[in-house]
C-alpha cells in the first residue's frame, strides 16, 4: 500500500506548481508532427524543472513542464514517451530539456565551438540534425523528420 501511495505522490507532484528562478520571454517557432507554433512564449526554469508556456495573441495555449516527467495539457508522460508522441522516438530522453536550456545534445557529439556558442551536426539512419546555440538564441532542425525549434530572445 505504501508503494502505491509513493507512486501516486510522485506522479502527481510532477505536474504541480513550481517556483522558477529564471523567466525569459522568447520568440518561439516549433514545427513537429503534433505541434505547430510561432509566437511569444515564456521559458521558466530552476535547477530541477523547466516550463515552456506558449501564447497566441496574448492567450496561453499550452504549457510544457519538464522535470522527471514531461507534462502537457494532455497529461504527463515519460521523456521517451513524449519524444515518441511529439518529436521522434530516436531522440535521447533529455533532448527537449537540452534545447530549451541551450545545452549540447547527443552527449556533445560533433560539437564545434563558435565565437558566440557552438554548433552540432548529427546524422545517422534516424536523424539529420543541425543544431546551433548562439548568444541570442537556439536553432534546431532535423531535416529527416521535419522538426524545427527556433528560440530567439524577444529583443532581437
Q: Do 14 and 68 contact (CB within 8 A), yes or no?
A: yes
Confidence (pLDDT) at 9: 46
Confidence (pLDDT) at 10: 47
Angle (CA) 53-58-64 rounded to 5° is 10
Quote the CA–CA distance of 77 and 16 in Å, as a whole number: 14
Walking along the chain (156 residues) 10 residues at a time, the average pLDDT comes out as: 47 51 88 92 90 90 93 93 95 96 96 96 97 96 97 82
CATH assignment of 2-153? 2.50.20
Query: What's the whole-model pTM score?
Result: 0.84
Quote the CA–CA distance of 122 and 125 in Å, as a whole number: 10
Contacts with 112 (C-beta within 8 Å, 6 or more apart), sequence order? 118, 119, 120
Half-sphere exposure of 134 (CA within 13 A, CB side): 11
Confidence (pLDDT) at 23: 86
Q: What is the dihedral of CA 103, 107, 111, 113, to 10 degrees?
A: 40
Every domain of the chain and the residues it spans = 2-153
Coil, strand or helix: which one is 56? Answer: strand
Confidence (pLDDT) at 8: 45
Confidence (pLDDT) at 48: 84
Amino acid at each position: 500500500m505504501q508503494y502505491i501511495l509513493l507512486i501516486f505522490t510522485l506522479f502527481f507532484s510532477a505536474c504541480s506548481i513550481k517556483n522558477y528562478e529564471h523567466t525569459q520571454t522568447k520568440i518561439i517557432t516549433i514545427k513537429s508532427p503534433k505541434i505547430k507554433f510561432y509566437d511569444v512564449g515564456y521559458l521558466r526554469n530552476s535547477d530541477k524543472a523547466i516550463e515552456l508556456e506558449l501564447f497566441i495573441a496574448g492567450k496561453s495555449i499550452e504549457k510544457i513542464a519538464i522535470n522527471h516527467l514531461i507534462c502537457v495539457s494532455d497529461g504527463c508522460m515519460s521523456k521517451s514517451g513524449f519524444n515518441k508522441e511529439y518529436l521522434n522516438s530516436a531522440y535521447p530522453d533529455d533532448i527537449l530539456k537540452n534545447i530549451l536550456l541551450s545545452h549540447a545534445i547527443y552527449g556533445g557529439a560533433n560539437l564545434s565551438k563558435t565565437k558566440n556558442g557552438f554548433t552540432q551536426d548529427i546524422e545517422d539512419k534516424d536523424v539529420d540534425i543541425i543544431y546551433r546555440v548562439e548568444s541570442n538564441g537556439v536553432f534546431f532542425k532535423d531535416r529527416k523528420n521535419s522538426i524545427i525549434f527556433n528560440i530567439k530572445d524577444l529583443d532581437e
